[in-house]
């Protein structure tokens, strides 16, 4: 019983250690100007939480919204206000985002690490 308990405790510690090593949360700030998203290409890790903070810098252009079609996320971007989009990529590949009209384009490139 004692052995079983300590073995279980060991496993728990091991699992916790592995999971805290595996996930690398990342935060990226993105400016939205009349030229589009800056930056517009962001690398990410599969399984690690990604936080994107969009700030629209200019009333000019059409950056009043950011849309992630594959994630079903749409956020309004008031000028000068930081707007956060959070998600965890679940598979390798590209996750696109655009302005409301699809003219400004950006992409998240998720890869295994």
Residues binding Cu ion (CB under 5 A): 62, 99, 101, 103
Give me the residues paired with residue 108 across strands.
42, 95
Whichever of 69 and 93 has its CB closer to Cu ion, that residue is 69
Closest distance of CB 35 from Cu ion, Å: 12
Dist. CA 10–CA 18, nearest whole Å? 12
Q: Are 52 and 84 in contact (CB under 8 A)?
A: yes
Closest distance of CB 47 from Cu ion, Å: 32
Whichever of 47 and 61 has its CB closer to Cu ion, that residue is 61
Whichever of 39 and 51 has its CB closer to Cu ion, that residue is 39
Closest distance of CB 52 from Cu ion, Å: 18
DSSP secondary structure code for residue 112 in this structure: -
58 backbone dihedrals φ, ψ, rounded to 5°: -140, 140
């Amino acid at each position: 019983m004692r052995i079983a308990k300590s073995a279980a405790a060991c496993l728990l510690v091991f699992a916790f250690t592995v999971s805290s090593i595996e996930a690398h949360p990342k935060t990226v700030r993105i400016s939205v100007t009349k030229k589009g998203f800056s930056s517009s290409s962001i690398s990410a890790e599969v399984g690690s939480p990604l936080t994107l903070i969009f700030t629209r810098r200019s009333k000019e252009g059409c950056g009043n919204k950011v849309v992630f079609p594959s994630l079903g996320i749409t956020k309004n971007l008031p000028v000068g206000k930081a707007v956060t989009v959070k998600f965890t990529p679940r598979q390798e590949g590209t996750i696109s985002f655009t302005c409301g009209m699809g003219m400004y384009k950006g992409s998240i490139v998720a890869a295994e690490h």
